[in-house]
Amino acid sequence: MFWKETKLYSVLSLKRPTCHEADLFVPQPCDPIRTGDFHSKCPVCGTKFEREPVFLYGAMYVSYAIGVALFVTAWLALAVLAPGVGVLGQATVVVGVLIVGSSYYYALSKIIWANIFFGYDKAAARRMAAGKTGMP
């Protein structure tokens, strides 16, 4: 039960930071452009996600940090594991990895940003377990 109360659980399972029950994002199969679209209000606990209209702008900084970390990791892995690949080949692979996963990285940055400001609400979890959602 302790694992479910952690922020890491919310990030890895892409669940709402407050109740860890509902999905944060609207499912968008085969539409990588809309991958980061999320429900504005939690259907389970009723928590409103955005604090202000520009709340998620900070997620861009998290997305940048994720991109830099992946760039450095992929570059070093290629340099160590495939030293015969030239600089152009390494750059092509690294940029390809970043482009292919960019929509997922942006969605991941949104949930990391949300978990910085929202925490797990044990009272909401108890209400859900008792069958009361607290929604009007």
The tens digit of pLDDT for each residue in 78-88 reads: 889 988 888 89
Higher pLDDT among residues 56 and 95, named by residue: 95
69: pLDDT confidence band, cut at 50, 70 and 90?
A: very high
136 pLDDT exceeds 50?
no
| Of 21-25, 30-34, 50-54, 90-94, highest mean pLDDT | 90-94
Contact 26, 16 (CB under 8 A): no
Q: Which domain holds residue 72?
A: 3-129
Cα(57)–Cα(43) distance, integer angstroms: 24
Cα(31)–Cα(109) distance, integer angstroms: 18
Amino acid 65: pLDDT: 92
Cα(1)–Cα(115) distance, integer angstroms: 19
- Token pair, residue 84, equals 């015969």
Q: Examine residue 84 and state whether it is found in any structural domain, yes or no.
A: yes
Strand partners, 15: 23
Look at 5-9, 60-64, 75-79 and tell me which has the smallest mean pLDDT.
5-9
What end-to-end distance do the CA atoms of the chain give, in Å? 28
The total number of structural domains in the chain stands at 1
What is the residue-averaged pLDDT of the chain? 79
Q: Examine residue 135 and state whether it is found in any structural domain, yes or no.
A: no
